[in-house]
Amino acid sequence: MSEEPLLSVRDLKKHYTSSRGGLFSRETTRVRAVDGVSFDVYPGEALGLVGESGCGKSTTASSMLRLTEPTSGEVIFNGGGRGGAVRNDDGTHPNDVTRFDRQELKAFRRDAQLIFQDPTSSFDPRMSVGASVGELPLVHGMKDPERRRAIVEDLLERVGLSAEDYDRYPHEFSGGEKQRLALARALVLNPELLVADEPVSALDVSIQADILALIDDLRTAFGLSVLFISHDISVVRELCDRTAVMYLGEIVEIGPTEAVFENPQHPYTEALLSAVPTPDPRSRGDHIQLTGSVPSPSDPPSGCRFHTRCHRVIQPEGVDLDQSVWRRLLDFRERVVAGDIDAESVRERLRADVEAHGGADASTERAAANDGGEVRTDADDAARVRAAYDLPATLSDPTAERAVADAVAALLAGEDDRAAAGLADAFTTPCAETVPEFTDHGAGHRAACIRHRPDYDGFDAG
């Protein structure tokens, strides 16, 4: 797109500092809620921002609107008659919201409006909804009450309510109607940008589609740009021209919605899409099961942040295992290194397994052996541990096999550190070492996955 964006967000970061051990603790952690996101919103377009809960979508919106102060980055807003501005000699930009003074911020807040998930909390229960919607024009200097009333009544009708609703109170409206009221209030100052943060998530499924259709109609009628935030990728598909996918504080893929949905270039996007139920009988419906838990934004994984859960995580030079086995090995490694799997937990699993299968524990079996009974060997124990942790009985790759066998033996011998060190050494992935850069996939479709680097095999999303 060659036209000037209405909004350009560049390398935006918001890190929260919180104390680890309570109010009086000196130990602090830095939560990298938003960690360097960049995107543009063009005039009249709807851009979707999608990702799991906690990935930083709301923080992106609130930092961008300066409802919370961003840690760093630029937010260039070319609306409000500010278009065509060029950078100052010192490199700063006159339209950078992060540098706006009070007056500029007031004007920006008129031009960029926010609606969010729960409209109830944003209406004063003691005020008629007409007065609530008309409050902003009053604050911005529209003194004539009749004119204000006429504008509000017109807006109420445009959002699917009626002029007579003006004198009613918030409790008289349903959730969907309150979201319509929130839209009326957001639009009363004729903004250029609407940020809609999960606007339908709290609503009954039966009315979600109506509200989405309304946002779409209003976008056209008011010539609005919309930044639409949702954890639900199928809702984004309904409404948005372009889609940005966010994971753990970063955007990992962005592009025209059709391209992102039809030809996802990042494994995380693929996984999100695979979770969407489809009525299409031709669809293979392969659900990608993401392993591992979502890492904390206070201690994000090195390299590609998604590598700890990625089903396409790269195998190092010389290793050629079945991809699902490779994923399981890395999961095992992660858990042993993190101390989640240690000698004690292994013994516990072993005991549970022996009991479940009607066997005796090792000491009784060994006693039985002295009486000429059947003996349970270390090899049996190792096999049980491998099965308990979803590891194959043997691996085709001899080096990998040796590393797993050694680690299991070390765990059985109570040597947790040796197990962890051996696995950490043996199983490495380039994805943990290299921060992926964005690669271009045509028509503004970009993704940050190191599989797209020319020195790695191509990525087949199919």
For binding to ligand ATP (CB under 6 A), which residues are involved?
16, 18, 31, 33, 51, 53-59, 231, 297
Q: Least distance in Å: CB of 107 to ligand ATP? A: 26
Nearer residue to ligand ATP within complex by CB, 54 or 359? 54
Nearer residue to ligand ATP within complex by CB, 57 or 219? 57
Distance CA 394, CA 145 (A): 80
φ/ψ bin of 114: left (φ > 0), alpha (ψ from -120 to 50), beta (otherwise): beta
Q: Least distance in Å: CB of 365 to ligand ATP? A: 48
The values of phi and psi at residue 46, to 5°, are -110, 120
Distance CA 330, CA 255 (A): 31
Nearer residue to ligand ATP within complex by CB, 59 or 225? 59
Strands 28-41 and 7-19: antiparallel
Q: Least distance in Å: CB of 340 to ligand ATP? A: 21
Nearer residue to ligand ATP within complex by CB, 28 or 190? 28
Strands 46-50 and 225-230: parallel
Q: Least distance in Å: CB of 215 to ligand ATP? A: 18
Nearer residue to ligand ATP within complex by CB, 38 or 263? 38
Distance CA 399, CA 319 (A): 9
Q: Least distance in Å: CB of 39 to ligand ATP? A: 15
φ/ψ bin of 58: left (φ > 0), alpha (ψ from -120 to 50), beta (otherwise): alpha
Distance CA 432, CA 304 (A): 6
Q: Least distance in Å: CB of 37 to ligand ATP? A: 11
Nearer residue to ligand ATP within complex by CB, 59 or 243? 59
Distance CA 315, CA 174 (A): 53
Among candidate residues 47, 41, 71, 460, the one with its CA nearest the CA of residue 246 = 47
Q: Least distance in Å: CB of 31 to ligand ATP? A: 4
Nearer residue to ligand ATP within complex by CB, 58 or 429? 58
SS3 assignment, position 431 = helix
Distance CA 224, CA 226 (A): 6
DSSP-assigned letters across all residues of 439-458: EE-STT-EE--GGGSTTS--
Nearer residue to ligand ATP within complex by CB, 31 or 227? 31
Nearer residue to ligand ATP within complex by CB, 82 or 231? 231
Q: Least distance in Å: CB of 47 to ligand ATP? A: 15
Output the CA–CA distances (angstroms, integers) from residue 224 to 44, 60, 82, 256, 355, in the order listed. Answer: 5, 19, 16, 18, 65
Nearer residue to ligand ATP within complex by CB, 54 or 392? 54
Nearer residue to ligand ATP within complex by CB, 15 or 311? 15
Q: Least distance in Å: CB of 17 to ligand ATP? A: 8
Strands 225-230 and 250-256: unpaired
The CA-based dihedral angle spanning residues 144, 148, 154, 159, taken in that order and rounded to the nearest 10 degrees: 170
Q: Least distance in Å: CB of 194 to ligand ATP? A: 17
DSSP state of 351: H
Q: Any residues with CB less than 8 A from the CB of 212 and at least 6 apart, and which?
A: 200, 235, 238, 239
Q: Least distance in Å: CB of 310 to ligand ATP? A: 19
Strand partners, 50: 230, 245
Q: Which two tokens stand for residue 151?
A: 């504008």
